Structure 1
Amino acid sequence: MASAALELMGFFMGLLGMLGTLVATVLPYWKISAHIGSNIVTAVANMRGLWMECVYQSTGAFQCETYNSMLALPSDLQASRALMVISLVVSILAIAMAALGMQCTLCLEGSGAVKNRVAGTSGGLFVTAGFLALIPVAWTTHEVVQTFYHTNIPASMKFELGECLYLGLASAIISMLGGGMLCASWCDEQNGGRGRHGGGYPYPVGFGMSGTGVRTTSQAYRNPTLQVGGNRAQTLVQSTSGSSESNAHRTQAPKKPTTAGYDITGYV
């Protein structure tokens, strides 16, 4: 039950991280114009994202324009686009595999080992998707901070961190945590399966779990080697009982006669 709860929590966290990554990819709030120095007038705010650039006026007008050419964009923006899209595709694939491999679903019901492997693979895909989404977020954050504190750049060209950067960071962390939970539940199931079915260390196969360690007749019938061990144990018991009986006969044998403190050999 513990592994099933971990799988459900990991699945929903991965799903939430995928939705947050999708919202952060689509919205244009990656960079927001900084109102500092000569650009202190807040009547107009510029926002830039991965796909469009928007302008918000104090009158309430909101206008967006998509980038005209993809090849004319900077290389870092193109890489950020590609990584975010790949992260979304990997997350969708991870959700589909998690739906097949979780214990609460009826898919792959006949093969437990394959079902566990599918669940663990989906957890690894969630971790990969979160890491892919984290790269452009960290990259853009570093660029914005470096540009803001650069003295040679005018204040009108400086930007601050947008809401999508915070959302992308949180979504990436949630996706990786969800994938880690799925992987942990898979490892828990594997360890539990070895403990339930394998016998293994420290008890050999067929060894009784009671304190006396006595093997039953059904166990000996299932494992022929146990019969050999049982015969050896019976032989050992018989030899031990025989030696004890011989010792008892020796103790009950009559003593040699002695005379006046002298034994039969004549020595005191």
Structure 2
Amino acid sequence: MDEIVEVVAFMFGFLGWVMVGIALPNRYWKTSTVDGSVITTSTIYENLWMSCATDATGVHNCRDFPSLLALSGYLQASRALMIAAVVMGTFGILLTMLGMQCCKAGGENPILKGRIAGTGGMFFLLQGLCTMISVSWYAFNITQEFFDPFYPGTKFEIGEGLYIGWCSATLAICGGSCLLCACKLEQPENVPYVFQPNKGTVYSAAVTSQRGASSPYDRNAYV
């Protein structure tokens, strides 16, 4: 595998993992502004863990979701997928670092190091897929409620946390795909070709030439 491709893919995966850690606790997964007078205007925003509100005076009030079992199914699934993405990214970083050619911890075997790097790329790819499914599913429910004319609750819009999640998923998928496609899984067999002449033919020709030539020992030494 090319060392430049390794470094670029690792940086993509690492940045994706960092952005997952930023998106997960971000409070602005969805936002809604309730307009009123200058004093009563407030902004409501939520994420996977809590619901918050702030008014025009700058006072913030946050409330954690009371029960896990009382949450919507998509919210529980989004939590699980984001936590799984963090775990997958951690394994991807460790395995990719061991499989990189510049790292001596994984040994000197290029086949083994290529397979380790490829496994790290697979974990990065799983991280990106988990993140993409989580944020896309969450955004789908936001848009579905927003465009539903019969929805009685507060209508939210997509917040910055989802955009961070989409960027994270894209980087992780690109990094994992590069590692999987460029990893060195097989060692090329560069065996030099050695020319081997036909020994039997050369041997027979040599014997024939020796038999046909007259030996100096058969002649009279004085002639």
Query: What is the TM-score when the length of structure 1 is the normalising length?
Result: 0.70
**Equivalent position of 2:62 in the other structure:** 64
Assess if the C-alpha contact under 8 Å between 1:32 and 1:159 holds in 2: yes
The Cα shift of 1:232 comes to 5.6
Assess if the C-alpha contact under 8 Å between 1:84 and 1:133 holds in 2: yes
**What CA distance in whole angstroms lies between the structure 2 residues aligned with 1:157 and 1:44?**
13
**What CA distance in whole angstroms lies between the structure 2 residues aligned with 1:84 and 1:146?**
21
The Cα shift of 1:148 comes to 0.9
Unpaired stretches in structure 2, ≥5 consecutive residues: 210-223
Assess if the C-alpha contact under 8 Å between 1:4 and 1:185 holds in 2: no
Q: What's the CA shift string for 1:84-135, capped at 9, x where partnerless? A: 0011001001111111111111112233221111011000110011001111
**What CA distance in whole angstroms lies between the structure 1 residues aligned with 2:112 and 2:122?**
15
Q: What's the CA shift string for 1:125-166, capped at 9, x where partnerless? A: 100110011111111111111111111124x61110111111
**What CA distance in whole angstroms lies between the structure 1 residues aligned with 2:201 and 2:60?**
90
Which is richer in helix? 1
**Equivalent position of 2:73 in the other structure:** 75
Distance of aligned partners of 1:168 and 1:232 in 2 relative to their CA distance in 1, 3 Å threshold: farther
The Cα shift of 1:63 comes to 2.2
Distance of aligned partners of 1:235 and 1:56 in 2 relative to their CA distance in 1, 3 Å threshold: farther
The CA RMSD measured in Å over matched residues stands at 2.3
Assess if the C-alpha contact under 8 Å between 2:115 and 2:185 holds in 1: no
**What CA distance in whole angstroms lies between the structure 1 residues aligned with 2:51 and 2:201?**
85
Q: For residue 2 of structure 2, give the secondary structure of its aligned residue in structure 1.
A: helix
Assess if the C-alpha contact under 8 Å between 2:35 and 2:42 holds in 1: no
**What CA distance in whole angstroms lies between the structure 2 residues aligned with 1:18 and 1:176?**
11
**What CA distance in whole angstroms lies between the structure 2 residues aligned with 1:109 and 1:55?**
54
**What CA distance in whole angstroms lies between the structure 2 residues aligned with 1:232 and 1:26?**
80
**Equivalent position of 2:130 in the other structure:** 132
Matches within 5 A, 1:219-230: 226=196, 229-230=197-198
Structure with the bigger RCO (C-alpha within 8 Å, sep 6+) is 2
The Cα shift of 1:185 comes to 2.9
**Equivalent position of 1:159 in the other structure:** 156
Aligned amino acid, residue 198 of structure 2 = G
Aligned amino acid, residue 199 of structure 2 = N
Q: How many equivalent pairs are there?
A: 204
**What CA distance in whole angstroms lies between the structure 1 residues aligned with 2:18 and 2:135?**
16
Higher deviation after alignment, 22-31 or 103-112: 103-112
Aligned amino acid, residue 179 of structure 1 = G
Q: What's the CA shift string for 1:148-192, capped at 9, x where partnerless? A: 1111124x6111011111110110010011111222331xx346x
Assess if the C-alpha contact under 8 Å between 1:133 and 1:168 holds in 2: yes
2:184 paired with 1:207: no
**Equivalent position of 1:25 in the other structure:** 24
Aligned amino acid, residue 98 of structure 1 = T
